[in-house]
Structure 1
Amino acid sequence: MTVLRSVVLFAVAALAEIGGAWLVWQGWREGRGALWTAGGVLALGAYGFVATFQPDPHFGRILAAYGGVFVAGSLLWGVVVDGFRPDRWDVIGALLCLLGVAVIMYSPRT
């Protein structure tokens, strides 16, 4: 159950951070306005809190592992939201990042 909780928290964190950054991008760079930007800022703030619910007590470990989730999640966001088509190297890189997440977060500790 702990691993499942951690995976769900990583997914929620990715949604908040990537979605928040996308909203800021849309609001500022694409000229959609202050409400989009403000929504993005709020989502980015929520992302900062989500990591605190991870079961592991080590901030550095959680943030390092989350980096891999961010890489894979960003590519997936691009596919779903922006019509981006990753090539095989994007996919291989994302899978390697997720393997790193698994090693960092879920390897047995002594």
Structure 2
Amino acid sequence: MTVLRSMILFVLAAGAEIGGAWLVWQAVREGRAWWWAGLGVMALGLYGFVATLQPEAHFGRILAAYGGVFVAGSLLWGVLVDGFRPDRWDLAGAAICLLGVVVIMFAPRPA
């Protein structure tokens, strides 16, 4: 159950961070209304809170592992929202990052 909870929280955190950054991007780079950036800032703040719900106690480990989820999630966001088509190197890099998540978060450690 802990592994499932961690993965759900990583996905929620990625949605908040990537979505928030995308909203700010839309306001600044694509000329959307200023309130898009405001919504983005709120989503980015939500990301910070979601990350604290992880069962792992070490901040550095959570953020390091989350980095891999962020990389893969960003590519997926680009595909689903912006019509981006990753190439094989994007996919290989994302797979390596996700493998890093598994090693960092779930490798057996002495108690």
Report the TM-score, using the length of structure 1 for normalisation. Answer: 0.98
The whole-number CA distance in structure 2 between the counterparts of 1:68 and 1:78 is: 16
Identity of aligned residues (%): 75
Unmatched 5+ stretches in structure 1: none
**Could you list the runs of 4 or more consecutive aligned residues of structure 1 that deviate by over 3 angstroms after TM superposition?**
none
Residues 91-102 of structure 1 mapped to structure 2, 5 A cutoff: 91-102=91-102
Residue 105 of structure 1 aligns with which residue?
Answer: 105
Q: 1:52 deviation in Å?
A: 0.4
Q: Which residues of structure 2 form unaligned runs of 5+? A: none
Query: Which string of whole-angstrom CA distances, capped at 9 and with x for unpartnered residues, describes residues 62-96 of structure 1?
Result: 00000000000000000000000001111011000
1:11 deviates by 0.1
Post-superposition Cα deviations, 1:4-58, rounded to whole Å, max 9, x if no partner, equal: 0000000000000000000000012111111101000000000011110000000
Partner Cα separation in structure 1 for residue 92 and residue 28 of structure 2: 32
Q: Which residue of 2 aligns with 1:38?
A: 38
> Matches of 1:29 and 1:78 in 2, distance apart?
16
- How many residues are matched? 110
1:1-110 to structure 2, matched below 5 A, reads 1-110=1-110
CA RMSD in angstroms, aligned pairs only: 0.5
